[in-house]
Structures are given as structure tokens and as C-alpha cells.
Amino acid sequence: MNLQQKIDAAKKLLAVVMGCVIAILLVIIVDKTFGWSMNIKESRSRFFPRSDDIDGLGWSAKTEKTLRETAGKYSRAHKEVFNGETIYDVTYNFDTLYRRLVPGQPDQNLDKFIIFFGGSQTFGLGLNDWDTIPAFVQKDTLTHRVYNYAYAAYGPHEMLKILETYKLPDELIETRGIAFFQYFTFHIPRVLGAMRYISWAGAGAPYYHVNSKDQLEYSGSFATGRFFKTLFYWLLGKSTIAKYYNVDMPATLTHHHYDLVCRVLGKSRDVFLDQYPASRFVVIIGITSAQNDPFIEECLETNNIEYVDMRKHYKSNIGLTFQHDGHFTPKAARLTAQQLAPLVY
């Protein structure tokens, strides 16, 4: 190739690059204009974890910038407003290990515990400390000490990471008990690291997947364990057009996806029971979980995971969630706690 041919090839390459840059800029301009005209807020999640000091969870109460410390304990105020109307205005209180406080814990020494894992519904987002599911269970149960390890936006994968990272026997004085995980259909995209989940939660959550040997494997966070796929999801999630049309990837949930979630739940059970052999691990299918959730019971039974289905008790969701928010009201927390009472012994 002579000099002129090289120059021509360079010009063609430059033209292609410039064309791509212009096309990308046009797409961004169109997308931003659409978002502005439709008043759609853009996602502002971080790609990498919010803090390095979170043991691979992606975020925790400890990383909240608005967390206040008083006498070795912590609190955070949370006010939610919709169209000028306050939905809730509450304060979350945490102990020295950043677990949400459960009011009414017995003063005397006990040998049994109840641990709750889960996301915002179990944590009690929008609820005062005494209106959460763990608090209602504690009120009805004086033979066990109740702990709330749930946190907003968590799923089964954070529970497994907590169990694998933290040694619960070092954090609890009780020696046996029950671990509850409250499941909802929307937890599946969280474990998968689906596009919409990455767009609002970021890519710092733990990444579990089934490897070539058909074994569950932990590979860091979604950001580090599958960088390019997650980056694509994160960037696409910033599109206001994609948000407007509810675009998500994967578009549908399959038996394979449920299998991954139940493997994570099964591994969580195994790790928990290794630490507390004389205990139980129970999955709660939440009241507001989808009635047409196609594979959850099947995969729980296939993996021999004990569960209780709250949906069969309550066919109507009226009054169970805050209007314009979707999180549990005290009524839903109370009803859930009542159904759990027979399981505690």
C-alpha cells in the first residue's frame, strides 16, 4: 500500500468515526429533547459502588450521606412527597451494626432469634420503627429476639452476600432460630442485574451466576463481573425514550431466571444452616407479589426450600400499599406478621 492509499484509507476511517460520533450525538439530542418534552427524569445511579467499605453489597445504611450518629446509634429521616402531598415522613433508626432497630426486644437473655432478610418492604420503607413486619412479629413473640437485616433495594443476592461475608454467630448472642426472606416477583430482575434495575440501582450489587460447570458462582459486582454487558445496560437505562416505553432486558422472565434465583435462595439457606444447624430458613412470598408469578412455587419446591405464600390469604391489595408509592402500609405489615405467627415455635 503506497502513501496515497494509506491517506485515503485514513480519510475513510476518519469519516466513519465522525459519522458514528455525529449519529450518537443526534441520538442523545433526540433522547434528551424527548425527555424534556415529556418531563421524564433521568437516572442518576452510579455505575460503580457508592462506597468501598460495604463488603460487596453495593450500598448499605452505612453509606447513606444523611445518616446521623447519636450515642453510638444511627438514624435517617425520610420524607416522600407526591404533587405537594406528603406520603410519609418518618425516621429510620439503626443499631451499632447498621441493622434497623426493632422496638420491643426482650430485656432478658434468650436462646432463640428471628432474622428478617429482604428489600424495602421488609426493611419497612415509609414506616416508623414500630410499624415494620419485624416489629409486629417481635410484639407477638417474646420467646425470640427479632433482627432486621433487610435494606432498601436489596434482593436474594444481597442476603447471600451478607451470609457469606458476615459471621452471624459473632453478631447474635442467640444460638438458634428462624431466618425469613420476603420474596417479591421484582426481586428476579435484581438477581439477574436486568437493565432497569442497573439503571436505578447502579452496578455495585453482588453478581451471582451459573457457571459452565452448572454451579452457582460469585464474580464480584455486576460492574466488575460482567463489565461490558452491565455498561450497555447502564447506558441504555439513561435513555428517556427507553424509560418512557418501559424497555427492559431481558424482556421476559423464564424458567432459567427463576432457577438462578432459587439457587441463590437455596445457597443462602445452606450457608445459614451451616452456621445454625438447629434452625429454619423460610421464604415468604409477599402479599403483593404477582398472582401470575409462573415458576416461583415450582422452583422453591424443587430446591426443597420451605416457604409460605401470603397471596392466598389476601386477594385484594387495597390499603396494603401507600398511594403513589407502592411500599407497604402498617396494615400490610401487620397482616404479614399475623400469618407468620404460626411458624414461630
| pLDDT of the residue at 16 | 77
Cβ-based burial of 23 (10 A; exposed 0-12, middle 13-18, buried ≥19): exposed
pLDDT over 70 at 345, yes or no? yes
Mean pLDDT to the nearest integer, 136-146: 94
Cell readout for 123 is 426493611
Residues constituting the chain: 345
DSSP one-letter string for 66-135: T-EEETTEEEEEEEEEETTEEEEEEEEEE-TTSPBP-TT--SS--SEEEEEE-SHHHHTTTS-GGGSHHH
| pLDDT of the residue at 27 | 62
pLDDT over 60 at 52, yes or no? no
| pLDDT of the residue at 37 | 66
Q: Is the peptide bond before 250 cis (omega within 30 degrees of 0)?
A: yes
Q: Which residues of 61-75 are buried (b: 16+ CB within 10 A; e: fewer)?
A: bbbbeeeeeeeeebb
Average pLDDT, the chain: 89
pLDDT over 80 at 55, yes or no? no
Residue 151 vs residue 24, higher pLDDT: 151
| pLDDT of the residue at 284 | 97
pLDDT over 90 at 158, yes or no? yes
| pLDDT of the residue at 51 | 60
pLDDT (tens digit, 9 = 90+) per residue, 291-330? 888 799 999 999 999 999 998 877 777 889 998 898 999 9
pLDDT (tens digit, 9 = 90+) per residue, 192-234? 999 999 999 989 999 999 999 999 999 999 999 999 999 999 9
Share of the chain above pLDDT 90, in %: 63
Pick the closest to residue 100 from 112, 88, 87, 91 (CA basis).
91
Q: Angle, to 10 degrees, between the axis of helix 255-275 and the axis of helix 156-165?
A: 30
Share of the chain above pLDDT 70, in %: 90
Other CB atoms within a 10 A radius of the CB of residue 301 amount to 12
| pLDDT of the residue at 45 | 74
Mean pLDDT to the nearest integer, 100-119: 94
| pLDDT of the residue at 34 | 58
Mean pLDDT to the nearest integer, 90-100: 95
pLDDT over 90 at 155, yes or no? yes
Q: How confident is the model at residue 139 (pLDDT cuts 50, 70, 90)?
A: very high
pLDDT (tens digit, 9 = 90+) per residue, 251-304? 999 999 999 999 999 999 999 999 999 999 999 999 988 888 879 999 999 999
| pLDDT of the residue at 1 | 62
Domain boundaries, the chain: 1-39, 61-343
Other CB atoms within a 10 A radius of the CB of residue 168 amount to 18
pLDDT (tens digit, 9 = 90+) per residue, 159-174? 999 999 988 999 999 9
Gap between the Cα atoms of 80 and 72, Å rounded? 27
Second-level CATH architecture of 61-343: 3-Layer(aba) Sandwich (3.40)
pLDDT over 90 at 65, yes or no? no
Mean pLDDT check: name the lowest of 14-18, 64-68, 121-125, 341-345. 14-18
| pLDDT of the residue at 181 | 98
pLDDT over 90 at 10, yes or no? no
pLDDT over 90 at 245, yes or no? no
Gap between the Cα atoms of 279 and 65, Å rounded? 36
| pLDDT of the residue at 24 | 66
| pLDDT of the residue at 122 | 98
Q: Look up cell 460482567; give the residue.
A: 226
